Structure 1
Amino acid sequence: MKFFTSCLLAVTLASRSIALPRTDGAYNFQLRESITPPRGWQRLSAAPADHIIHLRIGLPQSRFDELEKHLYEVSDPFHHRYGQHLSKAEVDALVAPKKQSLDLVDEWLASFGLGEQDFYRSSAKDWVTIRVPISVAEKMLNTKYHVWKYGETDDHLIRTTDYSLPDHLNEHVELIQPTTIFARWSKMKATFHLDKDIFEEIPIAKFVSSTSQDLGLADGVTVVDPSCNATVTIRCLQQLYKTGNYKPRASEKNSIGISSYLEEFVNEQDLKTFYLEQRPDAINSTFTFISVNDGLNNQTLDEAGMEANLDAQFAFGLSFPTPAIAYSTAGRPPFNPDILTPLNTNEPYADWLDYVLSHENPPLTISTSYGESEQTVPEDYARRVCAGIAQLGARGVSVLFSSGDFGVGDGIEDPDSHTCFTNDDRNITRFMPTFPASCPFATAVGGTNDIPEVAVFFSGGGFSDYFQRPRYQAHAVENYLDNLPYGIYEGKFNKAFPDVAALGRRFRIWWRGKPMSIGGTSASAPAFAAVVALLNDVLLSQNKKPLGFLNPWLYATGFSGLNDIMIGNNPGCGTPGFNATVGWDPITGLGTPNFEKMRKLLPKN
């Protein structure tokens, strides 16, 4: 994404015959949003007036209700339109703003010296992004920005706690960010679950046992090497999830992607070493790297991304030879007040969505292991990001997210030590759902542990505070709630997550030239995504459409192809969290994949 504008507004104004900025008094401002700063953030000082900020202006998506209707029809295995996904042009037309909204916003921006050459518009023109100094942003929004610091970390943000808009724009602008968004868009905390032998040079042979000692599971059919209870490899997942005997036949039509942020990128040498050890038939394969906003890919071994390596090694390794795409998106919200040069204060996840939605053929399956506590993301912003995920689903893309690594909030069961409090004046104990995993148009992946599988204690799960429960979840979730004691759980029953699960501990990856053991739902999501990619291969090899938005199929019939996980709980927020049980539960969702069963249940589109 490039913005053709000067860093100095004075230069911009001198070079164009555009009206000078109006004073604040020229507009009648109306308050659009006012928040209490999230816990942990401390206001330090006024933001530097010349700091450059990228403001994203969200215009109303004129026909999103129609898009949502299309999405559910093409994703419902019992609907006659199942699999008839929309094109990019069709989706863009449904979310494009009305001309009046475009014109009024353009006029408003022009009054501050900003012309078309200063804008970046999303593919559907529903987002307008501008690059202006803080001093101009404050006039445009009738607000004051400050530098904020999070706890004892070095994370800094430039944010405001309220902003206003001219009242004539009230119906023509849905939101503007970054203003009140304090999300840090963290990667799932895989590093919190490292095994003690993290840097020990352990030969893979140590973990390979005689087949005479194989673990026979309760179904009487699945046999898994017992070494998989010490370390998880591609072979373990192939055995456990029954993909090992399948030979992909439609690779030329298929694709799988991972998205990375926060200066993470896939190291090619680590991936080759991983393939040499666990997937030798893939040793000479390649993947497509895509940089968004100048995302890093310098291939320096000592800067390789742990999260990116994990995602690529298992998503690409398990789905090989499915063509693979790795995105690396630059930019992060934190601002370093000691550096005076302009920094990107954009929200990188929205940048990635803009990019992938602007292309005709995004990957058919995409796994992401990043997110944030839902309450740190303003609700209007969360809904717009979720709407972007819906657009991908309508186009036939399966979008999966890790459910989180802190149980129902902070992973702390001690009622006197937990940190789960609402971001408002009430300051009451509340479970902390994870976004974007809580988005009803995404498939959230929880975690399991050991073989036979049980729910892993850190698996994120629960109920959204923003999104209503979608109809595809009604039966499964209501069955769970019928047997749930109230009290600490009362009032937490909106959209439920996760939807599914996969192993989430002791994954053996290569990072910076050494083997290590890692865990988290960061591992679960790419593993499940790889199974989805193989299911797509089955469909595409029969000239059928890809799965697209998974959840309506999973909750309607696909659940019969999943391994139900019935043991475990996910403590947090001073409580034991939720229990795994028969059927759906807020730790492992509907269960973990059985590829052979799932392929027999694929819709007959």
Structure 2
Amino acid sequence: MWVTSLVSVLPLAVFAFALPSKDCEHKVKEAVVPPRHWVVSGPAPPDHLIKLRIGLPQPNFDVLEDHLYAVSDPYHERYGAHLTKEEVEELVAPHPDSVSEVNGWLSSHGIQEEDVGRSPAGDWLTIKLPVQLVEKMLDTKYHVWKHTGSGEQIVRTTSYSLPKDIFEHVELIQPTTMFGTFKKLKSSLHSISKIDPQLQSQNLPPITDSATGLTVDASCNTTITITCLQQIYNAVGYTPSAGIGNSVGISGYLEDFANRADLQAFFEDQVPAAAAVNATYNFVSVAGGLDPQDPDEVGVESNLDTQFAFGLTFPIESTYFSTAGRPPFIPDIGTPEDTNEPYTDWLDFVLSHPNPPLSISTSYGDDEQTVPESFAKRACAGFAQLGARGVSLFVSSGDGGVGDGDPDPATQECITNDGTNRTQFIPGFPASCPFVTAVGGTVLFPERAVSFSGAGFSNYFSRPRYQDAAVTGFLKKLPAGTYSGLFNPNGRAIPDVSAQSDFFRVFVNGQPFHVGGTSASSPAFAGFVGLLNDARLKKGLPSLGFLNPLFYSKAASGFNDITVGNNPGCGTEGFNATVGWDAITGLGTPDFGKLVKLVT
């Protein structure tokens, strides 16, 4: 039975006369300890504009979650019966009482209906307001905070309050206490080096992996191409189709732009069929995201993502999302507004889209602890909505091993941000969200775990039931007391799966470069899922959608188990790859030939 909770959006003007004052006694909604390395550099300018995002509670989210698991469980009778956009919006809509109370509060501060943006479900409100008004509404004081390492500046407060009569009708408000900056440093791009055009193959004999029986060109141990991925993951000879409703997407951020000329150079080098028809991607601007094709504005990250995801899946429909936002931000008169949460702008947009791509990869993230728990959980709920609609989401697990995102284990601090200054492994977000598929990294053939593969256990999200058997088995293998106190053994574990993550041959300004990082493994894995969706759609089956319940059960035998390697960080050797799931490569890497049989 469906839960009826559709919201009728009530005009703010209705309350303009009835509620002259909402400035009653306030109650602290959220407070944080100032994070390490952030210091106050001065008061926030009173006319500085903040794009305030108000999240209203989703009282029926648990019902949506039940639906998500039902349609994602390969043994459930409803497997594959994805929800429609309208059904999902109905399940996440706030209670009408919350809508009316918050409308009244806004109206009491002179905010008109036309000033407020609303998500299709009415669960998010967005409004641009000057700092001086936000401070009054939230009974707080904003400051300009500066990061002592990067020099980056943001406008934040360490606590905010709400009137008691609307306290329960608001789940969270940001940007307030969120010091995660989602900057390019935090992307999962690990390394880049120009390929010497004089470097010639040594014509070594092909390599055979005794465990899988697969044979791969020896060159794949020095350079990863589309052909290498097809060989390593048993997809040689598979031909996807166009025009059957399939689609693959890449989300780009922080003014890192994909370049069509470089995509053509890549296709000419590795996918001649695509080059022959001058294939390209659909460009979608999110919140004003740009699409410059100037060689001076080429993004290595976006080129990597688009070239390999779209190269693997040609001629499947491909989409590149460019979401606006330019960090670091320096608040001054010339730039009165900062947009430092592009992830939520993208989520707003794609959730409003009637037909989002069926397989989407993202190669950006933050240390989980830099993101307030309330915000992380609310963003994660947005990913669940996409999964319920049949979309598979992939996120790079990060490049810091078990550490804090710094790729050099020797310089990792791994210190908690809660004021206790404890040493602890640092998981990444959004990889730690249980409703995405977190992708770690491997290298070479036969494959081994790459040392920088991000991994660990969430401190925000408990271990989802689909992971219980696999993760419990891994934890039982750890010697008693291993890393005691450094990680949360009951947390959502990452990564879920892995793929090659180094020496990718990427074209930048027409020249080939080697690029590495789990920012490579995520789009590659998303590409193979695009091929699996192709096989399903050809047989009249729905898209795979949220994958983790499938991967940890029926499809677990479709992965190559990686048993060599470790991911050092935080002054430790990290976790070891081992038989079965492990906290460095997850379930392993895909065997497309096996998976396609398991899912069709």
1:221 and 2:213 equivalent?
yes
- Which aligned pairs between 1:11-160 and structure 2 lie closer than 5 A? 26-160=23-157
Structure-2 residue corresponding to 1:202 = 197
In 2, the alpha carbon distance for the partners of 1:22 and 1:49 equals: 24
Structure-1 residue corresponding to 2:349 = 355
Structure-1 residue corresponding to 2:159 = 162
Residue type at the aligned position of 1:343: E
Residue type at the aligned position of 2:249: G
Structure-2 residue corresponding to 1:286 = 280
Contact 1:28/1:167 (8 A) holds in 2: yes
Structure-2 residue corresponding to 1:231 = 223
Structure-2 residue corresponding to 1:444 = 438
Deviation at 1:566, TM superposition (A): 0.4
In 2, the alpha carbon distance for the partners of 1:53 and 1:422 equals: 28
Structure-1 residue corresponding to 2:261 = 269
Structure-2 residue corresponding to 1:5 = none
Contact 1:335/1:343 (8 A) holds in 2: no
Structure-2 residue corresponding to 1:4 = none
Helix, strand or coil at the partner of 1:97: coil
CA spacing shift, 1:374–1:38, aligned 2, 3 Å: same
In 2, the alpha carbon distance for the partners of 1:186 and 1:252 equals: 37
Contact 1:446/1:460 (8 A) holds in 2: yes
Helix, strand or coil at the partner of 1:452: coil
Contact 1:455/1:580 (8 A) holds in 2: yes
Paired positions, count = 583
Deviation at 1:186, TM superposition (A): 3.4
CA spacing shift, 1:433–1:124, aligned 2, 3 Å: same
Give identity over the alignment, percent: 54
Helix, strand or coil at the partner of 1:85: coil
Helix, strand or coil at the partner of 1:94: helix
2:528 pairs with one of 516, 531, 538: 531
Contact 1:255/1:533 (8 A) holds in 2: yes
- Which aligned pairs between 1:111-510 and structure 2 lie closer than 5 A? 111-187=108-184, 189=187, 191-194=189-192, 198-200=193-195, 202=197, 206-207=200-201, 210=203, 213-219=205-211, 221-249=213-241, 251-283=243-275, 284-332=278-326, 334-410=328-404, 418-485=412-479, 486-490=481-485, 492-493=488-489, 494-510=491-507
CA spacing shift, 1:348–1:21, aligned 2, 3 Å: farther
In 1, the alpha carbon distance for the partners of 2:286 and 2:59 equals: 27
Contact 2:254/2:327 (8 A) holds in 1: no
Q: Deviation string for 1:225-256 (max 9, x for gaps)?
A: 11111111111101101222101135431000
Contact 1:413/1:575 (8 A) holds in 2: no
2:589 pairs with one of 565, 568, 592: 592
Contact 2:286/2:322 (8 A) holds in 1: yes
Residue type at the aligned position of 1:571: P
In 2, the alpha carbon distance for the partners of 1:340 and 1:598 equals: 53
Helix, strand or coil at the partner of 1:171: helix
Q: Deviation string for 1:339-367 (max 9, x for gaps)?
A: 53322335110010000000110000000
Contact 1:319/1:533 (8 A) holds in 2: yes
Contact 1:333/1:347 (8 A) holds in 2: no
In 2, the alpha carbon distance for the partners of 1:581 and 1:308 equals: 33
In 2, the alpha carbon distance for the partners of 1:375 and 1:221 equals: 42
User: In angstroms, what is the RMSD of aligned CA positions?
Assistant: 2.2
Contact 1:412/1:571 (8 A) holds in 2: no
In 1, the alpha carbon distance for the partners of 2:17 and 2:179 equals: 34
Residue type at the aligned position of 1:214: P
Deviation at 1:489, TM superposition (A): 3.6
Structure-2 residue corresponding to 1:573 = 570
The 10-residue stretch of structure 1 (382-391 or 510-519) with the greater mean CA deviation from structure 2: 510-519
In 2, the alpha carbon distance for the partners of 1:457 and 1:254 equals: 34
Helix, strand or coil at the partner of 1:242: coil
The 10-residue stretch of structure 1 (323-332 or 243-252) with the greater mean CA deviation from structure 2: 243-252
Helix, strand or coil at the partner of 2:354: coil
Contact 1:373/1:432 (8 A) holds in 2: yes
TM-score by length of 2: 0.93
Contact 2:367/2:405 (8 A) holds in 1: no
Helix, strand or coil at the partner of 1:524: helix
In 2, the alpha carbon distance for the partners of 1:217 and 1:364 equals: 32
Residue type at the aligned position of 1:199: K
In 2, the alpha carbon distance for the partners of 1:539 and 1:392 equals: 19
In 1, the alpha carbon distance for the partners of 2:408 and 2:195 equals: 34
Q: Note the residue ranges of structure 2 that are not aligned, 5 or more in a row.
A: 1-12
The 10-residue stretch of structure 1 (46-55 or 245-254) with the greater mean CA deviation from structure 2: 245-254
CA spacing shift, 1:219–1:331, aligned 2, 3 Å: same
Structure-2 residue corresponding to 1:11 = none
Q: Deviation string for 1:71-104 (max 9, x for gaps)?
A: 0000000000000000000000000001111111
Contact 1:84/1:545 (8 A) holds in 2: yes
In 2, the alpha carbon distance for the partners of 1:424 and 1:220 equals: 46
Q: Deviation string for 1:448-492 (max 9, x for gaps)?
A: 011111000100001000001011000000000001132424452
In 1, the alpha carbon distance for the partners of 2:418 and 2:299 equals: 35
Deviation at 1:559, TM superposition (A): 1.6
Deviation at 1:200, TM superposition (A): 4.6
In 2, the alpha carbon distance for the partners of 1:582 and 1:421 equals: 31
Helix, strand or coil at the partner of 1:131: strand
In 2, the alpha carbon distance for the partners of 1:538 and 1:414 equals: 41
CA spacing shift, 1:410–1:425, aligned 2, 3 Å: closer
CA spacing shift, 1:413–1:484, aligned 2, 3 Å: farther
Q: Note the residue ranges of structure 1 that are not aligned, 5 or more in a row.
A: 1-14
Residue type at the aligned position of 2:562: I
In 2, the alpha carbon distance for the partners of 1:336 and 1:67 equals: 40
In 1, the alpha carbon distance for the partners of 2:460 and 2:147 equals: 24
The 10-residue stretch of structure 1 (278-287 or 535-544) with the greater mean CA deviation from structure 2: 278-287
Q: Deviation string for 1:537-583 (max 9, x for gaps)?
A: 00000000110000000000212011100011111111111111000
Residue type at the aligned position of 1:193: S
The 10-residue stretch of structure 1 (392-401 or 421-430) with the greater mean CA deviation from structure 2: 421-430
CA spacing shift, 1:584–1:200, aligned 2, 3 Å: closer
In 2, the alpha carbon distance for the partners of 1:586 and 1:533 equals: 25
CA spacing shift, 1:594–1:298, aligned 2, 3 Å: same
Helix, strand or coil at the partner of 1:383: helix
CA spacing shift, 1:346–1:416, aligned 2, 3 Å: closer
Deviation at 1:335, TM superposition (A): 2.7
Deviation at 1:415, TM superposition (A): 9.4
Contact 2:399/2:407 (8 A) holds in 1: no
TM-score by length of 1: 0.93
In 2, the alpha carbon distance for the partners of 1:189 and 1:17 equals: 44
Deviation at 1:191, TM superposition (A): 4.8
Deviation at 1:319, TM superposition (A): 1.2
In 1, the alpha carbon distance for the partners of 2:112 and 2:331 equals: 30
Deviation at 1:19, TM superposition (A): 6.7
Deviation at 1:286, TM superposition (A): 2.0
In 1, the alpha carbon distance for the partners of 2:212 and 2:155 equals: 58
In 2, the alpha carbon distance for the partners of 1:159 and 1:502 equals: 38
CA spacing shift, 1:155–1:417, aligned 2, 3 Å: closer
Deviation at 1:333, TM superposition (A): 6.2
